[in-house]
Every structure is written in C-alpha cells, then in structure tokens.
Amino acid sequence: MSQPQTLFEKVWQQHVVAEPAGEPTLIYIDLHLVHEVTSPQAFDGLRLAGRKLRRPDRHIATVDHNVPTTSAQDRLVIADQISARQVNALRDNCAEFGIEFFDVQDAGQGIVHMIGPELGATKPGTTIVCGDSHTSTHGAFGALAFGIGTSEVEHVMATQTLPQSKPKTFRINVEGKLPNGVTAKDIILDIIGRIGTDGATGYVVEYAGSAIRALSMEERMTICNMSIEAGARAGMIAADETTFAYLKGRRFSPQGAAWDEAIAHWRTMRSDDGAIFDREMTIDATGLAPNVTWGTSPGMVTRVDATVPSIEDARSEADRKSFARALEYMDLKPGIRIEDIAVDRVFIGSCTNARISDLRAAAAVVKGHHVATTVRAMVVPGSQLVKKQAEEEGLDHIFRTAGFEWREPGCSMCLGMNPDILEPGERCASTSNRNFEGRQGRGGRTHLLSPAMAAAAAVTGHLTDIRKWPPTGKPAPAEPVLAQGGLR
C-alpha cells in the first residue's frame, strides 16, 4: 500500500513533466485563463521570439478588468482610449493565436474566474493558471489553481508548463454548523484574521471539515478565492457530489459515458485518510460571527458586533505601525462600534461574491426596503450568465426598485480599473476581496463583508449586523432562496 497522499500531492504528481536535479519541477498546465490586463506583453514576447502558442485549445480568454459596466453600448465603444486599446489588443491576439475569446457582448463573457466554472472548463484534479491572483477561486473544484505574472503567462503560452518549486501543505478544517447569518465570506475573513495576510505564504491550503462539505460550489469559490489574501499559493477543496452536480451538463463537461468515466477519476482526487500535512488547523464554525474589515488589509477584520480595535490590540511591532496607519487612512477611532460606521457607497460584485446565490442573498435582504438616501449602491453581476439568470428571477427588479444601480458584468469597483471608482474619502461596504489603500479609488475606504451584510448596509446607511435583520418596524423580507448547484 502506497503512502497516503494529500489532494495537492496527487494533482502535483499527475502533472510532473520533468524533475531536473537542482531545479524547480516542470509542471504541466491544463488550462490557462487569459484577460486583457496581464496578457499583452506576453503575446508580444511570443512574437518577438518567434514562438508559437503551443496549445491553443488549453487557453480561454475574456475581457473583465477594464470594461465599463454602465451599459452595453458603453462597452462596445469604450470611451477610455487606453482601456479600449488593451481590450482591442486581446481581441486581436486571440484571433492571431487561435484562442477562444468571450468578447464583451458574448453570452459567455464575465469575470475570468466566473466563466471557467460556468463553462465547465474548471475541472477537478487539473492545473489552472491565470495572470490574476484570484485564480485560487478554481481550487473550489479540487483543481490546483494559482495566479501568475506576465512572464509566466508567456511561459505557459510557449510551453504549456511552468517551473515550480513544490509548496508545503496546510489543511484548515472548519467543523460544525454555521450559525444563522454567517456565510462563506465570514469563514474566510475569520481565517485571514487568525493567520494574517502572510499566514499561508509558501503553502497550498486545503479546506476541509463538515462546514466546508456543507457549502455550495458558489460558497466554496468564495473561500478559495480569498486564499491569496492569506498569502497562500492556492486554496483547494476536494471534489464531491456537490461538485459533480454543479459540473454536470455544462458546455465543456464530458457527456454520456465519458461523464461517468470522468467522475470515476475525479472521485479519487481527495486527500487519503492518514495523509500528512505540513501544517493543520481546526476552526469551530459554531463560534463564528459575521465579519467586517476595519483596516487596509483583509487581515484587519473583526466581528460586526465588535468595536474598532486599538493599536494596543496589535500582535507585533510591525502590526502596531500598520494599525496606526490604517486607522488614520480609514479615518476611524479605536473603540467605536463597527455598526456605527456610516457608508457612502455599497458595491455588490467581484469574483469573490457576484454569483447568483450572492445576488439572491442580497436581494432577499433588500426586498421591501429602500437604499438609504445617503448611500449610492450598485450591483454588478459577475457574468453575463448570472445577469441573465438574475433578470429571469426578477432580482434586477428588486434591486432597481430599492434604489440600486443594476450593471453589466465585469470586475468593476473591485479594483477600479474601469470608470467605477470611489472618490477620495468615500467609504464603501464592499463584497470584494481587497481593502488596500486606494484599491477602489484613490483615497477610498473599503470595508469587506458578505453580500447580505452589504445589502443591509445599503438600506440602513451604516454597517449592520445581519443577524438582527430586519430592523424592527420594517416588513420582513421574503425567505432567502438558496443556491442549488448554480447556473447552467
């Protein structure tokens, strides 16, 4: 009987092309996802060196970071000439090198980490890379998926491989039933708060335990998505019946007998009993609360029913310095209640939380209420498919009636490379993944939280504990509709 292996080790081993002595291992890459921002220099590199794209069938491209979300027309003719040039460059490069490209108006367009799973291109046991750190999202399917730089993008284009030194393994077990109002977003924010933004540097994290098993695919994607915010090379969750149910019948999923054969292989892609991890940690899900970030890194996070921490709460000298700087940047005083923090903007979107279940959860909170007069709120579906589904379910109507803007799919205000940005000093409740200084616009202040909490903040005008929803005297919202396997 061979040594028990972790899920990561199995995927790694099945993708070793060469192990030259004293050098990194050469790993085969099954799927490369391409977007407009980190690819143009790589295509140029290929042309300069006279190299071909080795396997066009293993690349999928779309536009997401740069595209305006205001209207279909604004997307077809992008007013910002520099953005337009970048989008056009990707369009031309895909045509030249034979890469399947989902253009702005295409039914398959969306944030690159949304469309991989939607198409069924993201598969268990595979290796997936993209010039974007949130590639870790795809680990929710039991894939080894990680973000790379542009030089590596070029390397994958030319060779379909990457030289990689083997990361260490870290299993985080989340056990027990999540309390009401606590979501996948709260789990991952809690983990980052515990271990810090460099707590998993050098590791691939596998999330396991009963609380993880109970999550839908969309929720698992939220968790894996933010692995990078803890410094992890990748996050993974072993595929199970939930995964197979999500993938069945998707455009690029195997069909018929091939589907059964595929599942048989995917079932073997889990950590063996007795597999040893370099590091392991267990979290009691029953003790978790909704979380909100108060500072300028995702690790600066606390429970919504807590207060803004003081510099004395910092765990190290370095943290003290960052705390002081963050409090100043965020214009917050230690000791004030998180719930007393008023917001100017609400953003529901991003590759972390713009899937159909996220929009359903937010709509369930918003229904029967109106956005506070002091708040400007927007919902940006993560993909064309999500937008269409939401409109079929009437969610757009709920949001619009409540005073939200209903936008076209893209990365939008998660990173503000497009016209969607915060003004200096504006404070935003955001379902995205990063609250760095200036991330959503120069001088903008970001509080990360779950979609339901963002929706509640839009209504009340301040950060709000979703467990106390609805506010007394207001009509109760309709029962939330739970996601069942997501979209087709």
Structural contact between residues 427 and 340, judged by C-beta atoms closer than 8 angstroms: no
Helix (H) or strand (E) holding 146: strand 144-147
Cis peptide preceding 470, ω within 30 of 0? yes
Q: Which is nearer to another protein, 227 or 302 (CB)?
A: 227
The verdict on 322 binding another protein (CB under 8 A) reads yes
186: contact with another protein by CB under 8 A: no
What's 17-28 look like in SS3?
EECCCCCCEEEE
The binder of another protein chosen from 35, 58, 360, 369 (CB under 8 A): 58
User: What does the block give as tokens for 155?
Assistant: 């390397």
**Residue 93 and residue 59 in contact, taking contact as beta carbons nearer than 8 Å:** no
Shortest CB 173 distance to another protein, Å: 23
Q: What stretches of 152-278 adopt beta strand conformation (E)?
A: 161-164, 168-175, 203-208, 234-236
Q: According to the binding rule CB under 8 A, does residue 307 interact with another protein?
A: no
Among 265, 333, 370, 488, binds another protein (CB under 8 A): 265
- Minimum distance of another protein from residue 102's CB (angstroms): 13
Q: Does 51 bind another protein (CB under 8 A)?
A: yes
Query: CB 117 → another protein: shortest distance, Å?
Result: 12
The answer to the question of residue 438 lying near another protein (CB under 8 A) is yes
Q: How far is CA 372 from CA 43, 67, 220, 467, 475, in A?
A: 47, 28, 31, 19, 16
The Cα 200–Cα 198 span in angstroms is 6
Q: Does 323 bind another protein (CB under 8 A)?
A: no
Report the residue number, 321 or 488, with the smaller CB distance to another protein: 321
Least distance between another protein and beta carbon 367 (Å) = 34
DSSP 307: B
Write out the binding residues for another protein, residues 412-431 only, by CB under 8 A.
415-417, 424-425
The reply to whether 49 sits near another protein by the rule CB under 8 A is: yes
291 binds another protein (CB under 8 A): no
* Closest C-alpha to 416, from 397, 391, 449, 443: 443
| Binding residue (CB under 8 A) for another protein from 103, 168, 252, 281 | 252
* Closer to another protein by Cβ: residue 123 or 387: 123
Write down the least CB distance from residue 299 to another protein, Å: 8
Separation CA 235–CA 143 (nearest Å): 9
CB of 194 to another protein, least distance (A): 16
Cβ closer to another protein: 188 or 456?
188
Residue whose C-alpha is closest to residue 160's, from 56, 63, 39, 42: 56
Give the residue with the Cβ less far from another protein, 146 or 469.
146
Do residues 82 and 213 make contact, with C-beta atoms less than 8 angstroms apart?
Answer: no
# binding residues, another protein (CB under 8 A): 92
Interaction pattern, residues 224-243, with another protein; x per rule: CB under 8 A? ----x--x-x----------
Task: Burial-class residue 55 by CB neighbours within 10 Å (0-12, 13-18, 19+).
Answer: middle
Distance, in Å, from the CA atom of 408 to the CA atom of 458, rounded to the nearest integer, reads 20
Instruction: Please report, as residue ranges, which positions from 137 to 166 form the binding site for another protein (by CB under 8 A).
Output: 146-152, 154-155, 158-161, 163, 165
Using CB under 8 A as the binding rule, whether residue 20 contacts another protein is answered as: yes
Q: Does 325 bind another protein (CB under 8 A)?
A: yes
CB of 322 to another protein, least distance (A): 6
In the structure encoding, which two tokens stand for residue 403, read together? 């005073």
Q: Does 382 bind another protein (CB under 8 A)?
A: no
Which span sits near another protein by CB under 8 A: 181-189, 260-268, 340-348, 475-483? 260-268
Measured distance CA(160)–CA(153) in Å, rounded: 9
Nearer to another protein among residue 196 and residue 486 (C-beta)? 196
CA distances from 478 to 78, 123, 463 (A): 39, 35, 21
Rule CB under 8 A: say whether 311 interacts with another protein: no
Give least dist CB 363 to another protein, A: 29
The interface region with another protein, picked from 388-396, 437-445, 456-464, 479-487 by CB under 8 A, is 437-445
Return the number of the residue (77 or 318) whose C-beta is nearest another protein: 318
Q: Which of the ranges 21-29, 183-191, 355-363, 480-488 carries the binding residues for another protein, by CB under 8 A?
A: 21-29
The window from 371-379, 381-389, 434-442, 461-469 that contacts another protein (CB under 8 A) reads 434-442
DSSP 2: P
Q: Does 18 bind another protein (CB under 8 A)?
A: yes
Which of 3, 57, 77, 273: binder of another protein (CB under 8 A)?
57
By CB under 8 A, the residues from 90 to 109 that bind another protein are: 100
Who's near 269: CB < 8 A, 6+ residues apart? 7, 10, 11, 124, 125, 142, 238, 239
> Beta-carbon neighbour count of residue 213 at 10 Å?
16
Strands (E), 151-262: 161-164, 168-175, 203-208, 234-236
Q: Kindly tell me which of 98 and 287 has the beta carbon lying closer to another protein.
A: 98
What does the alpha-carbon distance between residue 395 and residue 450 come to, in Å, rounded to a whole number? 17
Distance in angstroms (rounded) separating the CA atoms of residues 108 and 64: 12
Q: Measured from the CB atom, is 86 or 389 closer to another protein?
A: 86
